[in-house]
Structure 1
Amino acid sequence: MANLAEPSSSPSSTSSSNLFNDSSVSTAPPPAAKAGASLEVVSLSKLSSNLERLLVDSEFDCSDAEVVVEGAPVGIHRCILAARSRFFHDLFSRGGGRYRPEGGKPRYQMGELVPCGRVGYEAFINFLSYIYTGKLKPAPQEASVCADPMCAHDACRPAVNFAVELMYASSVFQIPELVSLLQRRLLNFVEKALVEDVIPILLVAFHSHLNQLLGHCMKRVARSYLDNISLEKELPHDVAEEIKLIRHKAQPDEPNSLTVDPVLEKRIRGIHKALDSDDVELVKLLLSESDITLDDANALHYAAAYCDSKVVAELLELGSANVNLKNDRGYTPLHVAAMRKEPAVIVSLLTKGASASETTADGQSAAMICRRLTRAKDYNTKTQQGHESNKDRICIDILEREMRRNPMGGEDSVMLPLLADDLHMKLLYLENRVVFARLFFPTEAKVAMEITQAETTSEFTGHLASRSSSNLREVDLNETPIMQNKRLCSRVDALAKTVELGRCFFPHCSQVLDKFIEEDLPDLLYLQKGTPDEQKIKQRRFCELKEDVQKAFNKDKAASVRSWLSSSSSSSSLKGHTRHSKAVR
C-alpha cells in the first residue's frame, strides 16, 4: 500500500522491491480528465478517513494483534502495518508474539520492538494514524506541552520528547518519508531549545544514523557550557570525544572555563567514582588526602544528578558543601535536582538550606525548570486515593510551596501535638500517624520517610502501628534500660522528623491526618468489626474520609496553580527578554 494521501501507480508498475518506499511511487498525474482526477483525490481522502476509523472508533475494532505501550495494549492490524513497513512485514512473517489465552492475539512489547529509545503511548497512536491514513496529525496538546502556562511550547522538553519518540518509531519501523519530515522538525528545535533538551535529539540522531541532525546537535553542545563529565555520563563515548575535539579545534591555544588542570581533574573524578559507588566514607578519605573540596568537585551537583537520594543526604550531612553553589552553567544543586525530578533529593537539599527562589542565568527557578520538563498531562492528571502520586507533580508542588514560605530551620520546625510524656505513647502516636500517611498518601509519605530514613526499620510490616507496637515494648534480656530508651528515642526522632517534613511540604495531606487521628477514627479501618449498625456508621464515616482525602489533593492543586500564575505574571517580562539567550547557552 502506498502513501494514502497521494495517487499511486498501478500494481503492475510497482515492484516488490520498492513497495515500502513511498518515494518510488509515481507522482505524475494520470491521463484523465480534470473531473476524474478530482474524483480520485476524493476517493483517496475517503479511504484515508475510513481506515482511520479502525483506530478511533471502537465499533470497528477488528484488530488482530496488540502492541503494549506504557502498560496499555494498542490494537493493530497486521495486514496494514505489513503493507506499509518492511520492519513489520518481516516481524509478522517470522510469527512470534506473546499470545493472550483468552483472545489468541499476538502481543508485542514496545520496549522489545524499540530497544534503543522510548516510544510513548501518544506518540505511537500518532504514528499509527500516519500509517493508516498517510496524514501526520498535530501532536496532542496534553502530551506535547509543558506545565508552564507562560511557555510558548515551541521548544520545551515535552514538545522535543514527543518529536523524538515519533522519530524513534519512524526510524525503527522504517518509514523513510516520515523520518525526513521529523528530521527537519528536530533541526528546528536544536537552536531554539536549551542545551539539556538537545541531548535527547542528539541520542535519537545517533541511534537512527541521522548524520546531518547529529552534526548539528554536536556543534550546539560544543558551544554550550555542558562540562566534560556530563558529556561522558549522558552521551555515547564516541560522540562525547567528538564534541571535545570540536571544542579543541574551535580554540586550540586558548583554555576556556571548561578546561581543568589534569591533577585536579583526576581528583575530581575520584570523588565522582566514590559517589557512583555510594561510598561517602571514601569521599571523606579523598578529601582528607588532598586540598580539594566538595565545592571544587561540584560534588553536590553530581550527586543531585546521578546518585541515590540517600547518598545526597549523607553528603549533605558532611556539612562542608555550599548547598547554593552555582556551577559553570549557573545552576545550583537544587536546579540540577529539579531537572532530575526526584522528590527525595529535592527535599534533602531544601532541608539543608537550598534556596528555592534562586534563579539560573536566564531567570528560571527550580520550580520553573521542573514545570518546563513536565507534561501538562502528567501535571493535571488526578491522583486516586491510595494510589501513588505523579512524582513530577510532587516535585513542582514541593518547590512552589517552599517559595511561598520561610525556609525551614532546624530549631524552627513545626512542633508536634504530643501531649503525653510517656515515650511509648509518643511512639505509638507517631507510628500510627506515619502508617496512616502511607495508606492514604503513599508517594508523599515515602518521600518524607526516605529523607529521615524511617523506612529502614521493621515496624511497618503490618498495616497499623498498633499491631507492631508490642514489638517496641518487648523485653530483650541483653538490652539495658538505657539502651532500650536510646533505641526508642532514636525511633521517635526519626518519625518526628518524618511528620515535620510532611507538615512543611504536604500541609493539606497533614491536615487530613490530623483530623483522622484527633477524632479517633483509626478504628474505621476495621470495617467488619462491631454490630451491623456500628459497621454501617463506620462505612459512612470512611466514605467521608475518602472525600477529605480527595479534597486535600484538590486544595494542593488549586494553591499551586494560584501561586504559579501569580509568580509567573510578575516574571513574564523577564522571560520574554531572555528567551533568545537560552539558545546560546
Structure 2
Amino acid sequence: MANYSEPSSSISFTSPSHISNGSNGYNISSSSITEARSNLEIISLNKLSSNLGKLLIESDSNYSDAVVMVEGSHVCIHRCILAARSKFFCDLFEGSKDCGEKDGKIKYKMSEILPFGNVGYDAFLVFLNYLYTGKMKSAPLEVSNCVHEGCPHDACRPAIVFAVELMYASVIFQVPELVSLFQRRLLNFVDKALVEDMIPILLVAFHCELTHILTQCVHRVARSDLDDVSLEKELPVEVSRDVKSLRYKSQDENKPVSVKSEEQALREKRIKQIHKALDSDDVELVKLLLTESNITLDEANALHYAVSYCDQKIVKEVLGLDLADVNRRNSRGYTVLHIAAMRKEPSIIVSLLSKQASVLEMTRDGQSAVGICKRLTRPKDYNMKTEHGQEANKDRLCIDLLEREIMRNSMGGDVPVSSSAIADDLQMKLLHLENRVAFARLLFPTEAKLAMEIANANTTSGTKGPSGNLIEMDLNDTPSMQNKRLVSKIEALSKTVEMGRRFFPHCSEVLDKFMLDDFPDLVYLENGTPEEQIIKRTRFIELKEDVQRAFTKDKATKDKAKLPSILTHGIKNRTRKYS
C-alpha cells in the first residue's frame, strides 16, 4: 500500500548536560534551557495538533460553521482554520455570501469548487486532516488498494487515483508543501504502472501545470504500445500531439520514412469514419460504410471501440450485426472482454458473454478479464452493501459475473436446469413465466434487469407483482394470431429465465424452489384460516433457514457464486412483518 506519511524529523530529547553548583543550589546553562524550551514547544504543538484533529472525528463536539458536499456526503468544516491554512479557502469564504445553508451552516459543493479534476470523499478527509493537524495520514486501505489478491498495491489503479485526487486538492487549494510531496509520489508510479493506469497521472500533471511529471508521462506513453485512437480519445490534444512527435523522432534515422500509399490513407479514413459513426450512435451509417468499402468491423476494431467509448445500447446493436469476432485481439493484445472489464459495465459484460466471448483469454502480461476488473476495484466499492430491492453494486456484480462464467466453463457446460410443474397450456405457461420474472425483479432487481436486456424482454416485462398477468388480447385476432402472440412473449420470457440461470445460477435456484414449492401460498401469508396462516408462516421460516444454509455452503467455496444477501434481507423483513 502506498503510504503518504513523510518520514518524521529526527528530534533529540536529551537531558541537560551542563549543570553546575551555584550559590543557591544548581545553575543550569543557557543551552540546556533553550533545549528544554524547544522540547516543550514540540510537546505543545503535538497536543494542539491532536486537539484540532478531534474536531474532524468527534461529532459530539462539532462546532463547525460550514459544510462541503462530497460524493453525496457532507463534511463539516471550520472556516477559520481553513482560511488560515489556505489562501484558496480564504478567498472562497470571502465571496461565499450567496451560498446555500444546511442546518444553519453555509454549504459548498465540491463539484462547484473545483475548476477541474476530482477530489473524492476519502481523499478530502485526508487532506483536511493535514490542514487541521499538520500531519499526513496514511491512505485508507479500503480506497487505496484493489481487491486483486496477488497485487502488491504499489501501482494499481486505486492507489494511483487516490494520490491523484490528493494532488488535485494540494494544487487547487494551494498547499505547496503537499504539492512537493505528491509530485514525488506520482513520479514513483510512472514507471511501475500500466500505461492505461498512468493516464490519470498525466491528466493531473497537464491541468495543474506540473511540468516535470508531464514530461515523464509523455515519454512513457511515447514508449508504450498505446494506439493512436486511444491517444486521441483519452489525452488532451496538445499532449497527444507531443506523444506522436516523440514517436516519430525516435524512429531509426537510418531507416527511410515510409510514405503512406493512397490506398492506406483511404483505409485509415474509412476506419475513422466508422468510429465517428459509432460516436454518433448511428449503426445504420456503420452498415452503409461497411457496404461501400472492403473494410470489416474486425479490421476497424469497431467492437473494441464501441465497448470503450459508446453507449451500451450501441454495443448491443453492433453485437447484433453478428459481423465481429468477440474474441478478436486488438494491436495491444486485448480482447473485447478485456476492454469491457476495464469499463466495468455489467450489461456490456453480459452481452459479450452471451455471444460466447471467452472469459479465459489472457493479455500479453498474463491478465484475465476478471483480474483486470479486480485491479480496478477498491475494497470500499466491492464491499458496499445494498438494501433489498435496490440496485446491486456494479463493481462487485462485474467481478461475480466473470467468476461465475469461469466456474461455468470449468463445469463443462451450463448449470443443470431444475424442473418446474408448468402446465402445457400457453396461457398458464406465460402466467408462470411472468410471475417468475416478477419475483426475480423483486428479489434481484439488477440481475433481472441485465437478463431481460440481453433477452430483449423489456417489452414483456412490465409485471409489477405476483400474478401480474400481462396478457393483452385483441378480440379481433384469430386463435392462431393469439397463439402466435403468446408464443412470442413466452420465448422472450423463457430467454430471460435462461439468461438468469446461466449468469445468476444461485438466484435462479432460489426462484425455482420458491415457484415450485411455495408459490402462491407464501405470497399471501395473511390469507386463510388462522391454522392455515400458522402453517404458512412455519413454511416461510423453513424456507428462510434453507436459504441461510445455502449461504453457509457458498461461503465454503471461496465466496464464488454466493447467493445475494438481499434475499436474506427480504425474507427477514417479510418474516418479521407476519410473525
Pick the TM interval, shorter chain: 0.7 to 0.9
Query: How far, CA to CA, are the matches of 2:95 and 2:528 in structure 1?
Result: 62
Question: Does 2:189 match 1:180?
Answer: no
The one-letter amino acid of 1:250's match is S
**1:573 maps to which residue?**
none
Match of 1:406 in 2: 409
Task: Find the partner of 1:306 among 295, 304, 309.
Answer: 309
- Tell me, yes or no, if the aligned pair for 1:129 and 1:135 is still in contact at 8 Å: yes
**CA separation of 1:255/1:188 partners in 2, compared to 1, >3 Å: closer, same or farther?**
farther
1:379 equivalent in alignment to 2:379:
no
Provide the C-alpha distance between the structure 2 equivalents of 1:546 and 1:97, rounded to a whole number of angstroms: 50
Give matches, 1:433-448, under 5 Å. 433-448=436-451
Q: Distance in 2 between matches of 1:242 and 1:73?
A: 41
**Contact 2:460-2:489 at 8 Å conserved across structures:** no
Structure 1 residues 502 and 362: CA distance shift in structure 2, 3 A: same
Aligned to 2:250: 250
Are 2:422 and 2:428, in contact at CA under 8 Å, matched by a contact in 1?
A: no
Post-superposition shift, 1:355? 0.9
How far residue 33 of structure 1 moved from its aligned partner, in angstroms, is: 0.5
Give the 5 Å matches for 1:94-105. Answer: 94-95=95-96, 96-100=98-102, 103-105=103-105
Q: Distance in 2 between matches of 1:285 and 1:410?
A: 38
Gap change, CA 1:554 and 1:216, over 3 Å in 2 = farther
Instruction: Quote the RMSD (CA, aligned, Å).
Output: 3.1
State the partner residue of 2:58: 57
Alpha-carbon shift at residue 42 of structure 1 (Å) = 0.9
Structure number with the bigger relative contact order (C-alpha 8 A, sep ≥ 6) is 1
TM-score (norm 1): 0.83
Is the Cα contact below 8 Å between 1:435 and 1:464 reproduced in 2?
A: yes
**2:104, 2:529 → 1: CA distance?**
49
Aligned to 2:474: 475
Q: What is the one-letter code of the residue matched to 1:56? A: I
State the SS of the aligned residue for 1:107. strand
In the TM superposition, residue 409 of structure 1 has moved relative to its aligned partner by: 11
Contact in 2 for aligned 1:370/1:395 (Cα 8 Å): yes
**What is the rounded CA distance, in whole Å, between the counterparts of 1:465 and 1:472 in structure 2?**
14
Q: Is the 8 A contact 1:413 1:500 kept in 2?
A: no
**Count of residues in correspondence between the two structures:** 530
- State how far apart, in whole Å, the 1-side matches of 2:196 and 2:556 are: 30
Uncovered stretches (5+) of structure 2, i.e. residues with no partner: 1-7, 10-30, 563-579
**For residues 419 and 314 of structure 2, what CA distance do their matches in structure 1 show?**
28
Give yes or no for the alignment of 1:486 onto 2:484.
Answer: yes
SS in structure 1 opposite 2:74? strand
- Quickly say closer, same or farther: Cα 1:541–1:212, change in 2 above 3 A: farther
Structure with greater Cα Rg: 2
Q: Post-superposition shift, 1:413?
A: 8.6
Larger helix fraction of residues: 1
Per the alignment, do residues 232 and 364 of structure 1 end up closer, same or farther by CA in structure 2, a change over 3 Å counting? same
Equivalent AA in structure 2 for residue 489 of structure 1: V
Question: What is the match of residue 346 of structure 2?
Answer: 343
Among 314, 318, 335, the alignment partner of 1:332 is: 335
**After alignment, is 133-142 or 412-421 more displaced?**
412-421
Residue of structure 2 equivalent to 1:41? 42
Q: Which runs of 5+ in 1 are unaligned?
A: 7-29, 565-585
1:199 equivalent in alignment to 2:199: yes
Aligned to 1:466: 467
Partners of 1:231 and 1:428 in 2: CA distance: 52
Output one character per residue of 1:157-194: Cα deviation in whole Å (capped at 9) or x when no partner.
11111111111222221111111111110111011000
CA–CA distance in structure 2, aligned partners of residues 391 and 429 of structure 1? 29
In the alignment, the residues of structure 1 paired with residue 154 and residue 82 of structure 2 have an alpha-carbon distance, to the nearest angstrom, of 31
Give the 3 Å change call, closer, same or farther, for CA 35–448 of structure 1 in structure 2: same
- Mapped contact 1:418–1:426 kept (Cα < 8 A): no
| Alpha-carbon spacing, 1:69–1:548, altered in 2? closer, same or farther (3 Å) | farther
**1:319 shift after superposition:** 2.1
Name the aligned partner's letter for residue 334 of structure 2.
Y
User: Are 2:427 and 1:397 equivalent residues in the alignment?
Assistant: no
Q: SS of the counterpart of 1:501?
A: helix
Distance 1:487 1:274, change over 3 A: farther
Q: In 2, Cα distance between the equivalents of 1:310 and 1:553?
A: 35
* 1:92 has 2:93 as partner: yes
- Aligned AA (1:171): V
Q: Within 5 Å, which residues of 2 pair with 1:129-528?
A: 129-251=129-251, 261-406=264-409, 414=417, 417=420, 419-455=422-458, 457=459, 459-460=461-462, 462-464=463-465, 466-467=467-468, 469=469, 471-477=470-476, 479-522=477-520, 524-525=522-523
Q: Which amino acid aligns with 2:205?
A: A
The whole-number CA distance in structure 2 between the counterparts of 1:254 and 1:358 is 38
Counterpart in 2 of 1:75? 76
Identity, % of aligned pairs?
A: 61
Structure 2: distance between partners of 1:548 and 1:386: 21
